[in-house]
A = this chain, B = another copy of it.
């Protein structure tokens, strides 16, 4: 099932951008009158009939709407320090989208080797992973933010939202709880999980996180790379709601 994306929906009509039009008309050779399926990236699947394929932007009429198509029963924000090797982080983005994630926040930590992160490629990877895994919603991709600014932006009030931070300071080992235990504590359907860089969070960042209501968690005995730990967290949350 081939899925297209449109960010330009006006009542019963939608327009594909130049790239989607090329793929739909030039590559897949869809013609006027044919049925196509389009997501809006916000959760909807539209069954459409192509009305115009001439010019650089195809237009189609919506004949059926499916809300929260391919959705999941939780809201997960992954706030992760991008890895030095960008390919590893991009692999995480694709896999996290396939399993089910809602928002990605690229964090720049004090120990981050990568201090700059461009989100343009990341957005493309998330869009194509959402289409490939038949999801109407494309995960939001934030612009990079420092760990401190991210923490200061968090509102600890919402009781249905559980905020977790994974770090590996051996000193604090006893204070950490297992991700599984946190998932099995009832009352939450919104999750925020912070994953540090290769060099881990700084102690100051960790202290600030705790003061902002984040709960320190561990992922068991295995020592995982940043992107593996991040995907493990997505996988664990997804599994909890199956």
**Shortest Cβ gap from A215 to chain B (Å):** 16
Smallest CB-CB separation from A218: which chain B residue? B242
Question: Chain A interface: which size bin?
Answer: 20 to 34
Residues of A203-242 contacting chain B, CB below 8 A: 219-225, 228, 231-232, 235-236, 238-242
**Pairwise interchain contact A70-B133, C-beta atoms closer than 8 A:** no
How distant is the Cα of A19 from the Cα of B95 in the complex, in angstroms?
Answer: 34
CB pair B178–A224 under 8 Å, yes or no, is: no
Please name all residues of chain B whose beta carbon is closer than 8 Å to the beta carbon of A223 when the two chains form the complex: 70, 98, 133-134
A91 within 8 A of B: yes
A180 and B221 within 8 A (CB): no
Does A100 interact with chain B (Cβ within 8 Å)? yes
- A204 to nearest B CB, angstroms? 25
Q: Give Cα A154 to B178, complex, Å.
A: 34
Closest chain-B Cβ to A54's Cβ sits at a distance in Å of 34
Q: How far is the CB of A7 from chain B (nearest CB, A)?
A: 23
A108 within 8 A of B: no
Shortest beta-carbon distance, A235 to chain B, in Å? 4
A25 beta carbon closer than 8 Å to chain B: no
Contact across chains for A235 and B231 when beta carbons are under 8 A apart:
yes
Which residues of B have CB within 8 Å of A220? Answer: 238-239, 241-242
Question: Which one of B178, B222, B242 lies within 8 Å of A180 (CB-CB)?
Answer: B242
User: A102 to nearest B CB, angstroms?
Assistant: 13
CA of A225 to CA of B134, assembled, Å:
11
6 chain-A/chain-B pairs, Cβ below 8 angstroms: A72-B221, A95-B228, A98-B228, A180-B240, A222-B238, A232-B239
Closest 6 interchain pairs by CB? A220-B242, A235-B235, A98-B224, A98-B228, A133-B223, A178-B242
